[in-house]
């Protein structure tokens, strides 16, 4: 499968907190932010850098600075829970938004909002906590490419095999990073074992 998974004891610990139905809203938000920080670090591991000569308090040396700007695009509303860690790590990140609402009967996503900065030549990271059927992610990736994105990565917290297959089929050029690959979708197209509705648990609704 076209997916890279976090391999770290801390991410396993944080996922356990997220999955536990007894986790409070505050604890859920905290764990979501921390696992997103791990994902953000891994997602940008291959970012290009430019040499920069500086002077430390002791001597001159050659350091490195990021050579490519990042655009972060959360899928509303749940994706907002992954926004802050990226902004804290990369304060100059540009942020776009794609609003997709899933019809609970058909599981088909409908776009209700889209606002994107210039994307060409930038690293565009699409964040959506749950990759279930893959329909929303495919629509979002379609929109990003139509807007000029030429370097895209999809970052999720939990993915289902069905969603991964959809990304591979429709956007095989897009790398996918997740903290966990779960077993399957149930009859309601929810990820199992999953962690429930991410947005509802994040916002206490």
Q: Is 123 a catalytic residue?
A: no
- Say which of 106, 183, 186, 188 is annotated catalytic: 106
- 16 belongs to the catalytic site: no
| Known catalytic residue at 183 | no
CA end-to-end span of the chain: 34
User: Is 92 an active-site residue?
Assistant: no
Nearby residues of 74 by Cβ (< 8 Å), 6 or more positions away = 80, 82, 83, 95, 97, 98, 127, 128
Q: Which of 34, 102, 114, 189 is catalytic?
A: 102
Any idea which residues carry the catalytic annotation? 102, 106, 197, 200
């Amino acid at each position: 499968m076209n997916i890279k998974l976090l391999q770290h004891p801390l991410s396993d610990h944080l996922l356990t907190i997220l999955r536990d139905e007894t986790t409070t809203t505050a604890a859920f938000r905290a764990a979501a932010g921390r696992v997103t920080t791990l994902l953000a670090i891994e997602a940008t591991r291959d970012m290009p850098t430019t040499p920069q000569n500086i002077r430390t308090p002791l001597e001159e040396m050659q350091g490195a600075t990021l050579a490519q700007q990042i655009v972060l695009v959360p899928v509303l509303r749940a994706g907002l829970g992954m926004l802050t860690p990226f902004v804290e790590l990369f304060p100059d990140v540009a942020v776009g938004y794609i609003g997709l609402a899933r019809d609970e009967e058909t599981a088909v996503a409908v776009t209700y909002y889209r606002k994107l900065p210039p994307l060409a030549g930038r690293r565009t990271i699409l964040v959506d906590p749950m990759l279930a059927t893959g329909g929303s992610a495919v629509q979002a990736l379609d929109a990003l490419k139509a807007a000029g994105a030429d370097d895209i990565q999809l970052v999720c917290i939990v993915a289902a095999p069905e969603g991964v297959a959809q990304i591979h089929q429709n956007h095989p050029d897009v790398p996918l990073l997740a903290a966990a690959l779960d077993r399957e979708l149930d009859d309601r197209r929810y990820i199992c074992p999953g962690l429930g509705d991410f947005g509802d648990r994040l916002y206490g609704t």
